[in-house]
A = this chain, B = another copy of it.
Amino acid sequence: MPEYSPLAGGAEGPRALRPLLDTVLDALAEGAAARCGPLPAGGPEPVRRRLEAALGDPLPAEGAGEGPALRALVTALAEGSADPADPHCAAHLHCPPLAVAAAADLAASVLNPSLDSWDQAPAASALEARTAAALAALVHPRGPAPEALVTSGATEANLLGTLLARERLGHRLRVICGASAHHSVHRAAWLLGLHPPTVLPTPGGVLDPAAAHEALDRLDRLDPAPGDPLPALVVATAGTTDSGAIDPLPALADTVAAHRTHRPAVLHVDAAYGGPLLFSPARRGLLAGLDRADSVALDLHKLGWQPVAAGLLTVPDAPALAPLAHRTDYLNAEDDTEAGLPDLLGRSLRTTRRPDVLKVAVTLAALGTSGLAALIDATCEAAAELAALVDAEPRLRLRARPGISTVLFRPAGATDAEVAALRRRLLEGGRAVLGRARLDGTLWLKATLLNPHVQPSDLAALVKLVLDQLDGPARPGPRPDQPEGSPT
């Protein structure tokens, strides 16, 4: 038995873990100090070379021991991270986790409960049941029996929502979504063997209920026979990835309800980004109509400050999840279920499954919904402040006031190629991590604010970083032969 392989669990585990965790914390601090910015400078190649130097042979015959291995690789990972805790790391829906959530997540790794059977997760399964139902009730306050499944993210939740629609309405299901819908809607239809989604243009950034109505009407032409209508799934978005726009949910729910009189139709809402606004009394009104959806995807690893993964699929009525029921003798034999052992296999498409709910439950207990609301409000206010700074700067153009916490802007008069190159220069210089969004044929810089600790001075410095790029010698001058926002 190698001496360097103590277990994390049991009565002895905490003693073995303590020095290893000290090493991890030291390595995290060293790596962050060595990086000294939101991401490592130099672009992909230098990062890869440094990482591979720290790693050496990925499958060495002889081990280096626990401490040295942890120190080398965690330091290299921290030094080579794009750290969302840095105010200038703001490209994606990629949040800086709360310390309390990361600490709770350690307990999940140590105890390693697996949520596919009660005898692998006695307390963890009870915690998940309680917390998931409470979060579902937040989304569907008037649902007969709100229930939620914990997912690896909204991609899996969108897949589940589409799968539930397929199982309820049949394989002829037609999916209708806006151009602003997340790519995972398309991937779900592909995976499930469905017809590719009908994509409606979203010139205003949101799905137009009139366009959805027309698309549902157009299905008449495809119906195999009168009285044999094709079933439909309308997918709306509450917080698009590109701009944070929220589709008009009440009108879309009305549209689906109106068509239900003559066509089987359901509404799924991808609220991955916007869903947590429900915690904020000041902002939950933006989600009016969400409770009328047949299923909702949301992610607490975005506007909920959880380490990945913390996704949810919610439904207003638990029996809607019945198509996921699944039996296999070793996990949920009928006689065990009859004898009172909970049947958990229908709670996921996965089998072995980590209790991602633990960090969520601990965060809710630690901060309360008021604490989460304060973080959400602070983040949205920071985005409004950044938008105001951009708007006041004549060399920049703001696309619109932010709907949630996404600010889209671009240098006035720049071509799309220049916008894309500017973003890459900021990345390569290790200066800032900004995203990009192509909307209405124009490429925008995207700042997705998710750091509630961001200060006004950080925002001013971010604007200055972008302006410095415009002044820099490396920038090619504007080319008169290319109009602003031209595709390249």
Task: Judge whether A92 and B117 touch: CB under 8 Å.
Answer: yes
Q: How far is the CA of A231 from the CA of B189 in the complex (A)?
A: 22
Task: Judge whether B152 and A350 touch: CB under 8 Å.
Answer: yes
Interchain Cβ contacts under 8 Å between A and B, 24 examples:
A5-B371, A8-B98, A9-B85, A17-B102, A20-B103, A40-B123, A60-B368, A73-B365, A74-B358, A74-B362, A77-B355, A81-B111, A81-B113, A84-B112, A91-B120, A92-B119, A92-B120, A153-B350, A153-B352, A155-B349, A191-B192, A301-B352, A335-B420, A336-B436
A169 sits at the interface (CB 8 A): no
Q: How far is the CA of A119 from the CA of B106 in the complex (A)?
A: 25
Q: Which of A245-253, A254-262, A322-330, A468-476 contacts B (4 or more CB under 8 A)?
A: A322-330
Q: Which residues of B contact A21 (CB under 8 A)?
A: 21, 25, 103, 106
A1 → chain B, closest Cβ, in Å? 6
The interface size bin for chain A is 35 or more
Within 8 A of B (CB), among A463-488: 488
Task: Judge whether B73 and A1 touch: CB under 8 Å.
Answer: no
Within 8 A of B (CB), among A358-383: 358-359, 361-371, 374-375, 378
Q: Which residues of B contact A354 (CB under 8 A)?
A: 307-309
- 5 A-B pairs besides A44-B122, A44-B342, A152-B350 with CB distance below 8 A are A9-B32, A69-B366, A70-B100, A77-B124, A341-B427
Task: Judge whether A6 and B91 touch: CB under 8 Å.
Answer: no
Q: Which of A125-133, A218-226, A387-395 contacts B (4 or more CB under 8 A)?
A: A125-133
Task: Judge whether A335 and B417 touch: CB under 8 Å.
Answer: yes
A240 → chain B, closest Cβ, in Å? 10
A199 sits at the interface (CB 8 A): no
Given A193-B193, A367-B63: A97 and B123 within 8 A (CB)?
no
A66 → chain B, closest Cβ, in Å? 4
